[in-house]
Amino acid sequence: MGSKKELARQRYYNQRVIWLTGASTGIGEALAREITTTGAQLIISARDAQKLEKLSRELGQNCMAIPADISIKEQNIAAIETIIKRFGRLDTIILNAGINAYVERHDFNSSVFEKIIQTNFMGMVYGIEASLPYLKQAKHPHIVGMSSTAAYRGLPRAEAYGASKAAIKNMLEALRLNLLPLDISVSVICPGFVKTPLTDKNDFDMPFKISAEEAADTITDQMAYYKQEIHFPKRFSIPIKLVSFLPSEWYTALLKRTVRNTEKQA
Ligand SMILES: NC(=O)c1ccc[n+]([C@@H]2O[C@H](COP(=O)([O-])OP(=O)(O)OC[C@H]3O[C@@H](n4cnc5c(N)ncnc54)[C@H](OP(=O)(O)O)[C@@H]3O)[C@@H](O)[C@H]2O)c1
């Protein structure tokens, strides 16, 4: 007899058809490795077709690669059409793909915002738009979207990234309510720092950073319970949530020392 967690996983994942975006590296790749051990049929997407095919071959017949750029509406539609043609249904979408770039005070540039919003936010909207008609026909449909603890409150240099993640969190919350009469579950994932190629570029301390494998394990477990907000690691995400309730003046005073003084370099 398996543990409660294992039984929940078995109930949720067995025979489920799941589309996962952003699966070529980082959290997405770790999630693909974890989910293909559960008995689900996984379809993975990202732009790097070579990496994706290699991963799908390694993971075996429970994994199929469909390269796609999720920031382009038509490529989301084409990916979903391929899934439906091949498997006849779609039960869960995990919209994980995302990018990051920082905003510098001496180079406040709208092109950074356009790129990040188009990929992180509009990419998710396109993914939902393309799959919703099929999710409506599924037995226990589930929409899962990747946000971040950066969504809870504005962080210095994260004006574009944080805004995209806050927009995602708000959009998914609204969608969850809107879809209640259709019994479609909606989960939002808010990780703290996870070691991936995305955070390897960061030039600052990342408290309580965890591995992509630990993140994938937590997400896979909590999805099985249709958890609405999957936030981790708790030792980081709970304090961040509490801080997000502070009045603006207190919050600014608290964050002041994290703002790097680059004036002299400018
Ligand atoms: N790492 C963290 O600490 C952390 C914390 C909170 C939230 N997150 C979020 O978690 C998600 C995964 O991030 P990660 O840290 O694992 O970063 P990562 O290793 O850079 O992975 C990002 C993934 O998204 C894909 N991607 C990017 N743009 C795409 C596009 N236009 N179309 C399709 N796929 C695209 C990338 O593949 P291709 O380049 O091959 O397309 C890659 O597979 C992101 O949404 C990120 O914002 C990460």
Give the CATH number for residue 195.
Answer: 3.40.50.720
25 pocket-lining for ligand 1 (C-beta < 6 Å)? yes
CA of 12 to the centre of ligand 1 (A): 25
* Chain center to CA of 218: 13
Helix (H, G, I), strand (E, B) or coil at 139: coil
Q: Which of the four pLDDT bands, split at 50, 70 and 90, describes residue 148?
A: very high
**Letter for the amino acid at 56?**
S
Query: Does 125 sit in the ligand 1 pocket, CB within 6 Å?
Result: no
Distance CA 194, CA 213 (A): 9
Find out whether 18 and 35 touch, Cβ atoms under 8 Å.
yes
Residue 119 has pLDDT above 70, yes or no: yes
Domain count for the chain: 1
- Using a cut of 0.85, tell me whether the model's pTM lies above it: yes
Cβ(145) – ligand 1 distance below 6 Å = no
Residues in the chain: 266
Ligand 1 center to 26 CA (angstroms): 7
Q: Is it the case that residue 265 has pLDDT exceeding 50?
A: no
Show the domain range for 255. Answer: 4-265
Q: What is the pLDDT of residues 213-247, one digit of tens each?
A: 999 999 999 999 999 999 999 999 999 999 999 99
Name the residue of 198, 229, 236, 240 whose CB sits within 8 Å of the most ligand 1 atoms, as the mutation to test its pocket.
198
- How much distance in Å is there from the Cα of 15 to the middle of ligand 1? 26
Report which secondary-structure segment, H or E, holds 63.
strand 63-65
Ligand 1, pocket-test mutation among 19, 24, 51, 56, most atoms within 8 A of CB:
24
Q: Which residues contact 45 (CB under 8 A, 6 or more apart)?
A: 19, 20, 21, 22, 23, 52, 65, 66, 67, 68, 70, 79, 97
Q: Which of 33, 77, 169, 194 most suits a substitution to test ligand 1, by most atoms within 8 Å of the C-beta?
A: 194
- pLDDT, residue 2, reads 74
Q: 164-193 pLDDT, tens per residue?
A: 999 999 999 999 999 999 999 999 999 999
Cα 44 from Cα 130, distance rounded (Å): 16
How distant is the alpha carbon of residue 251 from its chain centre? Answer: 26
Q: Which residues are catalytic?
A: 161
**Beta carbons within 10 angstroms of residue 94's beta carbon:** 29
Task: Provide the token pair at 62.
Answer: 């429970």
Query: Which residues does 82 contact at the CB level (< 8 Å), separation at least 6?
Result: 66
**3-class SS of residue 261:** coil
Which segments of the chain does DSSP mark as H helices, in order? Answer: 4-13, 26-35, 49-59, 73-87, 110-116, 123-135, 159-178, 197-200, 212-223, 234-243, 248-255
CA of 248 to the centre of ligand 1 (A): 30
CA distance 156 to 141: 37
Which residue shows structure tokens 């961040």?
240
pLDDT over threshold 80, residue 263: no
